[in-house]
Chain A
Amino acid sequence: SQTIHQWPATLVQPVGSPLSLECTVEGTSNPNLYWYRQAAGRGLQLLFYSVGIGQISSEVPQNLSASRPQDRQFILSSKKLLLSDSGFYLCAWRGQPSNQPQHFGDGTRLSIL
């Protein structure tokens, strides 16, 4: 069966520090991969999605970037974190065809001090 791993579960970082959150999927090939953020009092917002290695689509302009170095690995990064980057970050994957539901990881709670 397919599983999705996301780490770390909790992260506290100072303003201006770099960020790297990793997400890996097991048990499937060529998944669509997604990064979402949930800020306090708001719903989940799509940040990036990827349909293949090296292919990244950004949904909103921001301080973050994403990369997909391998088929089942999706990384969320920042060179310099801002206070506004605090939130709950969720990784998700989806198989084919396009009407398949997305499956979510456990999320990373990111606090910026």
Chain B
Amino acid sequence: AQSVSQHNHHVILSEAASLELGCNYSYGGTVNLFWYVQYPGQHLQLLLKYFSGDPLVKGIKGFEAEFIKSKFSFNLRKPSVQWSDTAEYFCAVSRGGGADGLTFGKGTHLIIQP
């Protein structure tokens, strides 16, 4: 079975700082990779996804993530964070071609200080 590891459980940054949240997964087959975000009081929403093709994917609100197959990683980045980026961020993986659900990491609570 696959598993997902998010290295940082709590991250505190100042506005305009650069962000990188680590995500590693364990699964030897084809995977689909996702980052979801949950803003305070809101439901989980998709930030970006990778299925195939260019390993550098761009999502909403200036976020991007890079799939490095050799490292089983899918790290999330943003060059300059804003106070409104304060949220919980979840990395998730699903098996390529499968109907079963997502395997999530435990999440990273990101706090941006103005």
Residue interface bits B91-107, CB-to-A below 8 A is 1, else 0:
01010111111111111
B83 within 8 A of A: no
Q: What's the Cα separation between A65 and B58 when bound, in Å?
A: 38
**Are A59's CB and B46's CB within 8 A?**
no
In the complex formed, the residue of B with least CB distance to A46 is: B101
Q: What's the Cα separation between A32 and B95 when bound, in Å?
A: 14
Q: Which residues of A contact B (CB under 8 A)?
A: 32, 34, 36, 41-46, 49, 51, 57, 59, 90, 92, 98-99, 101-107
A-B CB pair tally, cutoff 8 Å:
56
B90: which A residues are within 8 A, CB to CB?
43-44
**Are A98's CB and B101's CB within 8 A?**
no
Q: What's the Cα separation between A41 and B105 when bound, in Å?
A: 11
**Are A101's CB and B34's CB within 8 A?**
yes
Smallest CB separation, B11 vs chain A (Å): 16
**Are B46's CB and A101's CB within 8 A?**
yes
**Are B99's CB and A44's CB within 8 A?**
no
Chain B interface size band reads: 20 to 34
B75 within 8 A of A: no
B71 within 8 A of A: no
B61 within 8 A of A: no
B99: which A residues are within 8 A, CB to CB?
32, 49, 51, 98
**Are A44's CB and B43's CB within 8 A?**
no
**Are B102's CB and A43's CB within 8 A?**
no
Smallest CB separation, A7 vs chain B (Å): 13
**Among the listed A41, A46, A105, which residue makes an inter-chain contact with B43, where contact means beta carbons less than 8 Å apart?**
A105
**Are A98's CB and B97's CB within 8 A?**
yes
**Are A49's CB and B100's CB within 8 A?**
yes
**Are B100's CB and A101's CB within 8 A?**
no
**Are B98's CB and A44's CB within 8 A?**
no
- Per the 8 Å Cβ criterion, residues 54-109 of B in contact with A are 90, 92, 94, 96-107
**Are B107's CB and A43's CB within 8 A?**
yes
A98: which B residues are within 8 A, CB to CB?
32, 94, 96-99
